[in-house]
Amino acid sequence: MSALTCQDVVELATDLLEQQLGALEAEVTSHVDGCAGCRAYIEQMRQTIRALASLKREPLTTEEFTTLLNAFRAPPPA
């Protein structure tokens, strides 16, 4: 039985999908294999990655870039 929790897997999911876990990969994979919730979460991430990879990439206009930059710099709404 894996000592990892589902929260641990969520925090390590990106590294798992990018094959950057090293020695932890077997433990994370073991948890995912035995946990339906984590399997679903990882599959949703894989589907999202595939969907995003298929999008056409168009350069931003200066106005679009400025709008996005200002949105990221703004404090979060209360």
- For residue range 26-74, list pLDDT tens digits in order: 999 999 999 999 999 999 999 999 999 999 888 999 999 999 999 999 9
Residues in the chain: 78
Those residues with Cβ within 8 angstroms of residue 15's Cβ, 6 or more apart along the chain or in another chain? 21, 24
What is the domain extent for residue 45?
6-73
In a domain, 1, yes or no: no
Kindly state whether residue 42 falls inside one of the protein's structural domains: yes
Cβ atoms < 10 Å from Cβ of 5 = 12
> In the chain, how many domains are there?
1
Q: What pLDDT was estimated at residue 4?
A: 93
- 31 is a domain residue: yes
Position 24 in a domain: yes
pLDDT at 1 > cutoff 60: no
Instruction: Report if pTM > 0.75.
Output: no
Q: Is the pLDDT of residue 18 over 50?
A: yes
